[in-house]
A and B are shown apart, each in its own frame.
Chain A
Amino acid sequence: MNDFVYRLQNVTKAYDGRRVLQVDHLKIQRGEVFSLVGPSGAGKSTLLRLLNFLEPPTAGRIRFLDVEFGPNQPVPLRLRRRVTTVFQRPLLLNRSVEANVAYGLGLRGLRDPDDEVAQALRQVGLTDLARQRARTLSGGEAQRVALARAIVLKPDVLLLDEPTANLDPYNVGLIEEIVQELNQTRNVTLVLVTHNVFQAKRLAHRVALMLEGQVVEVADVEGFFESPSDPRTDAFVRGEMVY
């Protein structure tokens, strides 16, 4: 059985000839919470876009489940739809809350047969706001709608790009609880990009440090924080890295 959802081999990404990502090897296991930490500009979000097939790599191979892709191979829609991203900003459509949550189902030609929109809204604690226009929500509520919009699609992989940055502690706690539950009860693989090392420590099974477009170290959460093998990881987790 294939235990990896992603296997990356010599993946690079360049814009206008400038290389911003160089990942020699990276494997992400099915059902794990994998956290990418590192300073701004380290290539974490670029890597997420590649994992969501929003952009092709400039070179290298990405194996997703049992299918391998390179720079010039379009990813079939059915595979692309098994992954989704919750971005740092909620990026809601100018519609009602429930219409936002139902949006992805509509793209798939589904008409919410099992009342999944209501279930997802219940899961994020926003049932009462279903009819409200999304743009009237607070930051925390909006991000929970963005999460419900992803949950309702039942993805194999959920990519989270700084999902709790700029949120209050209550909403941070709530979102962490929801994604943890998703991982534990539905076995959804989570890839979490965060600046917050404490969040990575709380949620992740494995953590990777990225610096200047490269993966410096990948380790299980305990090893990463307690006994890092790379001095840069040591400096990063101690908060001694200035960036």
Chain B
Amino acid sequence: MISSLDPALMEIVLLSLQVSGTALLLSTLIGIPLGAAMGLSRFAGRRLVIALLYTGMGFPPVVVGLFVYLMLSRTGPFGQLNTPLIPDLFTPGAMVVAQTIISFPLVAGFTMAAVMGVDPALKLQVQSLGATRWQTTLSILVEARIGVIVSVIAGFGSIISEVGAVMMVGGNIEGSTRVLTTAIVLETRKGNFDLAIAIGIVLLSISFLTNVAMLRLQGRTFDE
């Protein structure tokens, strides 16, 4: 099935990559600036935001799924809006929303820790060399790049392997919202262990290859 690139399997693989890739992109766009801001600035209520962020890092996916389900259902606050910006339940869009909520706190939390690990005196040094606020933040993020990449890897890991939330808000509909993890659950329940294992191998391979690609993005950083 894997070697013959079965069309049904390829569809599941592509949807998994599409949903988790989009969610990871959104998580990165939200999480890295948020983590950098939390790590570099001081403001009233920062401790509370950090506590919320850390709580978010440990969110059980199934609870996130429940939350998104209630929000997007027809009787929920967003489900009633009936706008194209808000995805319907049991669509890939709803799965993206759930996965973004699961992974952005991880990206933000690890980015914050990485930024806080950079020598605070370096911030003064780059400012002294003429950096604007934006350039200072960017320079510190580049210095903390190992940690920032780890944050993205952690974010990806949390969603590519996640099953509870996508099952709840996606519904595991064949040809529409079935992804690798929900397909494994389904095939296991049906007793098709060979197929479940094969899909599991595909999932592990994707996870491995994605992580290798991210590490390669770092160039020599990990060899230092």
Residues of A near B125 (CB, < 8 A) are: 85, 87, 91
Docked complex Cα distance between A77 and B129 (Å) = 11
Give the segment of A103-111, A192-200, A216-224 that binds chain B: A103-111
B128:A77 contact, CB within 8 angstroms: no
How does the 8 Å CB contact mask read for A122-147 relative to B, with 1 for contact and 0 for none? 00000000000101000000000000
Interface residues of A, count at CB 8 A: 24
- Asked whether any CB of chain B lies closer than 8 Å to the CB of A30, the reply is no
The interface bits of chain B over 193-209 (1 if a CB of A lies within 8 angstroms of the residue's CB, else 0) are 00000000000000000
Say whether chain B's binding surface is mostly helix, strand, loop, or mixed: helix
Q: Contact at B130–A91, with CB atoms within 8 Å?
A: no
* CB contact list, A73-125 vs B, under 8 A: 77, 80-81, 83-85, 87, 89, 91, 93-94, 103-104, 107-108
Q: Choose one: B121, B132, B139, B142; the contact of A77 (CB below 8 Å).
A: B132
**CB contact between A135 and one of B121, B130, B224 (< 8 Å): that residue:** B224
Query: In the complex, which residue of chain B has the Cβ closest to the Cβ of A87?
Result: B125
Q: How many residues belonging to B are interface residues under a CB distance threshold of 8 Å? A: 17
Minimum CB–CB distance from A9 to chain B (whole Å) comes to 23
Task: Report 28 cross-chain contacts, Cβ distance below 8 Å, ordered by A residue.
Answer: A49-B124, A52-B128, A54-B127, A54-B128, A77-B130, A80-B130, A81-B130, A83-B128, A84-B128, A84-B129, A87-B125, A91-B119, A91-B121, A91-B125, A93-B122, A93-B126, A93-B139, A93-B142, A94-B224, A103-B126, A103-B139, A104-B129, A107-B131, A107-B132, A108-B130, A135-B224, A153-B129, A159-B128
Q: A89-B121, A91-B121, A153-B129 are in contact. List 7 more A-B contacts (CB 8 A).
A: A84-B128, A84-B130, A93-B122, A93-B142, A107-B126, A133-B224, A159-B128
